[in-house]
Structure 1
Amino acid sequence: MDGQLTAFTAVAAGMVTMPGADFAVVVRNALDSRRAGVATAVGVAGGLLVHTALAVAGLAAVLVAVPALFGAVQLLGGGYLLYLGVRALSAVFRRPAAPANAAADGTPDGGGGPAAPPGTARSLRQGFLANALNPKAPVLFLSLLPQFVPAGQPALPRTLLLAALVVAMALVWFPVVALLVDRLGTWLRRPRVARALEATTGALLTVVGGVLLVEVALA
């Protein structure tokens, strides 16, 4: 088997499965519903498709070469992740605390029912934007993909294959995460657990978004 392809598969798998903003958004929406989680996962894969396509086409080099353009994308990405994080954290504070006699299945006694889950289109958009507005992804793929093109081989078919592998992994991994969260929903949706998980994902998104904005300010 192609040794470089094997090495790239391992590297790409680590990149895709590493917990980060994409993971947090998928988990956050999967807590609302299975459909929302899977739609978010597909949106994340769509964002990766954009990044890998840009790298294959060489357009990511333009982003790297024009600091103002890179800064604008970084500003948009950081702002959007910060927005998602603040929304998640505000939902934690709005969510009523679990009463002492909360039901075993995680449904609190009394009070109104759970908030309506986000629509499929909105979840798809959130996943796509959370990934597509990550300014560091095109730089990463631009520097990574050429490293796994064997000498003497045409670059375009090889980079297309590598890009397809990354997107395929995302299309498997993130829906699996969403389905696992939904499978564990009875436990994860218990008021205390849901508050803790939502607070964690909200804090992660807020920190990542804040770091991106700070980097823009210091650039």
Structure 2
Amino acid sequence: MLTAAIAFASAALIINVVPGLDTLLVLRTSVAQGRSGGLAAASGILAGCCVWGLATAAGLTALLTASHVAYDVLRVCGAAYLVWLGATALWKARRKEAVQEAVPEPVAAATRFGAFRAGVGTNLLNPKAGVFYMSLVPQFMPHGAPVFGTTVLFTAIDLAELAVWYWVVSGAAAKLAERLRRPEVRRRLEQVAGVAFLGFAANLLADRA
């Protein structure tokens, strides 16, 4: 079991550090809202991954690979959500709202909750996240090992790696944002993030897995 866990951790680490949609969300939120916002978005993503992992352990994510209808419904919903995120980022850049000064704590708390909600939605509405667990976990499952327990273990390993990775990304992005306080720079970053979200949406719509 130890050998299988190490092998899974190594494979998952390589996949996790490759820039993708979730990392982009943490990066963009950290720049716009500071590290607390980035960590809130990361927490939402981790919550989504936890759901996918438990669903894999229970066998529910098999529906995504067995049913094209279920996959397509989730795919279209995810793409629509990404379009909304991208359009929101571009609109904020247009209205010069990319830079936020100090705000009252109730407003900051609501903003962090919004970041958490965005993380959950981005992850759970991406069918590729479910397929990731469904396709990767079985490859490292030791013969005769309990499926549910081993899947939960692998999910915990993946969550731990992601937590560390997002902690590093949010910290680096927040420090970068402190040095880039000019409104024009922040607006450009929002524009880049908005276009990237729209690109991920297009890619998700084009996917026919």
Equivalent residue number for residue 3 of structure 1: 3
Q: TM-score by structure 2 length? A: 0.86
Q: Mean Cα displacement is larger for which, 183-192 or 65-74?
A: 183-192
| One of 132, 152, 159 as aligned partner of 2:151 | 159
**Residues 125 and 151 of structure 1, relative CA distance in 2, 3 Å threshold:** same
Change (3 A) 1:53 1:188: farther
**Corresponding residue number in structure 1 for 2:72:** 71
Partner of 1:27: 27
1:43 aligned partner: 44
Matching residue of 1:127: 119
Q: Secondary structure at the residue paired with 2:151? A: helix
Runs of at least 5 residues in structure 2 that lack an aligned partner in the other structure: none
- Measured after TM superposition, the shift of residue 149 of structure 1 is 1.2
Deviation of the 1:115 alpha carbon = 8.9
Partner of residue 101, structure 1 = none
Q: 2-side partners of 1:38 and 1:52: how far apart?
A: 20
Distance 1:44 1:155 in 2: 24
Is it true that 1:188 corresponds to 2:180 in the alignment? yes
Aligned-residue RMSD, C-alpha: 2.4
Number of residue pairs aligned between Structure 1 and Structure 2: 203
> What is the CA deviation profile of residues 119-166 of structure 1, one whole-angstrom value per residue up to 9, with x for unaligned ones?
121111001111111111111211110111112322222221111111
Q: What's the offset of the Cα at 1:186?
A: 1.9
Question: Which residue identity does 2:4 align to in structure 1?
Answer: Q
Q: Is the 8 A contact 1:42 1:175 kept in 2?
A: no
Structure 1 counterpart SS, 2:61: helix
TM-score normalised by length of structure 1: 0.83
Unpaired runs of 5+ residues, structure 1, are: 98-106, 108-112
Matched, 1:178 2:179: no
Matched, 1:140 2:142: no
Structure with the higher helix share, 1 or 2: 2
Structure possessing the higher radius of gyration over alpha carbons: 1
